[in-house]
Amino acid sequence: MKIFVFFLSACFSFTAGASDLLKSKSDSTINTYNKDFIYNVKKAKSVINVDGIVDEADWMAAQKADKFYRVLPIDTGYAYQQSTVLITYDEKAFYLAFIFNDTVEGKRIMESFRRDFLFNNNDNFLSFFDTFRDQTNGFTFGLSASGAKWDGVMHSGAGSNLNWDCKWESKVKHYDDKWTAEMRIPFKSIRYPSDSQIWNVNFSRLDLKTNEKSAWAPVPRQFPTSSLAYAGVMKFEEPLPKSKMMYSLIPYVFGSYANDYEAGTGAIYKKDFGFDAKIGISSSMNLDLTYNPDFAQVEVDQQVANIDRFELFYPEKRQFFLENSDLFADFGAHSATPFFSRRIGLDAPVLAGARLSGKIGNDWRIGFMNMTTEKTSDHLSRNFTVASVQKKVFARSNFGFIFVNKEYINEPSDTSMFNRVFGFDYNLACKNNFWSGKFYYHRSFQPDSPDKQYSQGASINYSSKHFQAKLYQRSVGENYNAETGYVTRTGYNHFSPEVTYLFVPNKKIVSHGIKIESDRYYDMDYHEIDHENSFSYQFEFENRSTLSLGYIDYFVELQNDFDPTHKGEHYLPAGTGYNYGGSVIKYNSTRKTMFNWQAEAAKGTFYSGDIQYVQGEIGYRFQPYVNLSMNFNYTDMDLGDPYERTQFLLVGPKVDITFTDKIFWSTFVQYNEQIENLNINSRFQWRYQPVSDIYLVYTDNYFTGNWNGRNRAIVLKMTYWLN
């Protein structure tokens, strides 16, 4: 822990010494692409009552952000149903009100009351705030027509991590010809520079009845409305109040029952406590602490049928790892990243951890994480340390360094057990977002120091309304080892060009066009070991449904023995090569109707035989209270001798009931014949205070066929947010 104490002390000193650097850019040039879209925020002269009724005098005096531009289905002209957004502020919070005209017949689409709703399944309003004006990071807040909240931290210029939550208030009201809302967001819930007076901002509306997405500051249709490169400007009448030291303590208590029938453990009862804490070291630097964390309430992963040779990727959902997560998780490439937070705490309980992240000055960001896991029967106690630094350059680009250290604690004295990675990344992002790219070089360090421990990659992307082109390159040495990362394979060189051309006729078919992509893998001597060439034609219709028809050609020279069925009975031997391919069709229905569905079907050859499969999801909602859905996969493969014909089914029905905006219950059943398991996960949540919850989670697993129990667990957890 010495490295942790030293680094933390240094960061406190650096942050204090850099306080003069962390100033608003009020006097500097405004360089956002939509710099002429300016919203002037007047200070409130009276109290704003957050009731959804936009009738206060301050709203009457506020500037109107109206005349929203269409983004989809086409990005020309104004939206058919117009919107108005109003903003004001006081010493403690800023307020938003909006008025959405709605005179088109039919129900307003509102999936449920659940927080962080699915964007495409709801009529909704979203706002995006670039408080540091780096056009890369920010905060997003929004509401669906049901009043469900949306909040998250923004990263990478447009992405949003919605697992982040903070305290704020809102209320929605419905009328025959419109719906309105008010929002109150405390300044202490977000971070911004000292003496801040100018932010970048944009507002977005999705109106499913007219199939239109629109924005206040116009955004080209090929980009999401969250693209901070296209945000407008928001000027406060006076500098914002100086940020006070923010802190919050989230203690929790939990009790559980578990029984692993396979291992014969018998009933195990457990009760314990822990806490999370957030401390705002400065207006832009946050320290997260956790002791004895329990993540039982985190939503269960959706299972998928696995016919691939490599490890499946599941996203991080645990709150502790989320704020400024790009400082840790966005290094390298998706399939060769040096840090993947799910490596911590899923195979052994976490004892404690600390996480420091944020900005120093206008252009520097730092991240530091230190966590220790307990010793178990399968693993020694381990300590994980991650440190990163990022510097903004040019309009929106940046370069960064990362260091990852995994070290075993109390290991045998005659061994040295560690794994380390050091890396450099340069991320290119031009002012108008048309060009983007990346270059990185990483190296691992491990006992005995073998050679070829590198991972290197580069990419360049171009995106316009009609034409998109991408080129990826990656090389990973055979001894590169990032144990705390996500690395699907090593010892290869990879090249991948991709080209898309779209026609946008603005008719019943909104856009259509061709997409050609090639993924090619070579060994270290540039002998081809893999390729995947795909050709598809894509359609987007007026109601926002999509259709894709294509063909994929594969070649694989196996580097290791492989069983495509994952049964472990027979293997295709390493060194053998296979050419195969097939046709694929994909369809996504419109989301404006109560019933919606998506499906993908494929048929063709597969390794030494044939395959056909169909997968997708169907859903029906009784809005806004009940949402029924079911994902499915049926796979049928016949690989020839010595394999028997293999057929397996995966079905995942889910019931999601939102009784109110504070009481939720969901049950997810996953029947998976490939792994011979039936999983039941049922979760009840009562948000009895803002961001304070009581959870009751029940999990059960059974063998398919004989239906004998595998394991069972029940957890009761209570959290309370103090700040």
In a domain, 618, yes or no: no
With vertex at residue 337, the alpha carbon angle to CA 334 and CA 341, rounded to the nearest 5 degrees, is 100
Provide the pLDDT for residue 4: 40
271 by Cβ neighbours in 10 Å (0-12 / 13-18 / 19+) ranks as exposed
Q: Which residue pairs from 437-445 have beta carbons closer than 8 angstroms and sit at least 24 positions apart in sequence?
A: 437/461, 438/333, 440/331, 440/332, 440/333, 442/331, 442/332, 442/336, 442/338, 442/402, 442/480, 442/482, 443/480, 444/338, 444/419, 444/420, 444/479, 444/480, 444/481, 444/482, 445/418, 445/419, 445/420, 445/421
In a domain, 511, yes or no: no
Cα-based torsion angle of the residue sequence 303, 307, 313, 315 in order, rounded to the nearest 10 degrees: -30
Provide the pLDDT for residue 298: 79
How many domains would you assign to the chain? Answer: 1
Provide the pLDDT for residue 214: 97
- Helix and strand numbers, DSSP H then E, in the chain: 3, 39
Q: What pTM was computed for the model?
A: 0.86
Strands 212-215 and 69-72: antiparallel
- pLDDT for 535-562, tens place per residue? 999 999 988 899 999 999 999 999 999 9
Binned average pLDDT, 10 residues per bin, the chain of 723 residues: 41 41 48 90 96 95 96 93 96 95 92 88 95 90 95 88 86 96 93 88 95 96 94 95 78 94 92 90 83 82 89 82 85 94 88 91 91 88 95 92 92 72 96 94 91 96 96 97 95 97 90 97 95 97 94 96 90 95 97 93 96 97 94 96 93 96 95 95 93 94 92 95 85
In a domain, 168, yes or no: yes
Question: Containing H/E element for 57?
Answer: helix 57-61
Provide the pLDDT for residue 30: 67
379 to each of 346, 348, 416, how far by Cα in Å?
A: 12, 7, 15
In a domain, 413, yes or no: no
Provide the pLDDT for residue 175: 96
Provide the pLDDT for residue 108: 92
Residue range of the domain that includes 161: 31-236
Q: What CATH number is associated with residue 107? A: 2.60.40.1190
Provide the pLDDT for residue 477: 97
